[in-house]
Amino acid sequence: MKEEKFAFGYMRVDNVHDDSVVNEKLKQLKDHCDIHKIEMPMIFAENKAVSGNFTGNAWKDLEMTLAHAEGRVQSIIVNDRDSLTKDMGVYLLKERELKEKYGVTIDIADGKSLKIDHSKGISIN
């Protein structure tokens, strides 16, 4: 029997009350999950204006939930890296922290894969 993969979704948008934008980004996350056969039981969302660089309340809730997931979640799926932070250094540090602390990676649901070897930098495939 094949082991199921689980991920949490995370979105930062201009306005979480704008259904058209939220639904578009949600569809992008769901399509990514369908393609990669991933179950996404929870999605966290917040406004860009009140959050930044992994400091918003929804991101804090996501990390707190990961702490209680006991290794059952393999990744966090986001729409694009720029919605998290424009600072690649901050992104790389957070990616490494998440891997070490919770065993999860950040997956980008933009149709491209982003593979990071922390010893060598970044490569986009």
For the chain, give the percent of residues with pLDDT over 70.
86
**In the chain, how many domains are there?**
1
pLDDT at site 112: 56
Is residue 8 within 8 Å of 76, Cβ to Cβ?
Answer: yes
Can you give the pTM of this predicted structure?
0.81
Residue 39: strand pairing partners: 6
Average pLDDT over residues 9-30: 93
- Least confident span in 4-13, 83-92, 114-123: 114-123
For the chain, give the percent of residues with pLDDT over 90.
61
CATH code (residue 96): 3.40.50.1390
pLDDT at site 1: 52
**Is 80 exceeded by the pLDDT of residue 110?**
no
pLDDT at site 114: 44
Cβ-based neighbour number of residue 77 at 10 Å: 23
- Domain with 67, as residue range(s), is 5-124
Residue 115: strand pairing partners: 123
Those residues whose C-beta lies under 8 Å from the C-beta of residue 91, and which sit 6 or more positions away, are 81, 84, 85, 106
pLDDT at site 77: 95
CA distance 125 to 113: 6
More confident residue, 51 or 38: 38
**Is 80 exceeded by the pLDDT of residue 119?**
no
For residue range 75-94, what is the model confidence (pLDDT) as tens digits?
999 998 887 888 888 889 99
* CA-closest candidate to residue 77, choices 23, 47, 40: 40
Average pLDDT, the chain: 85
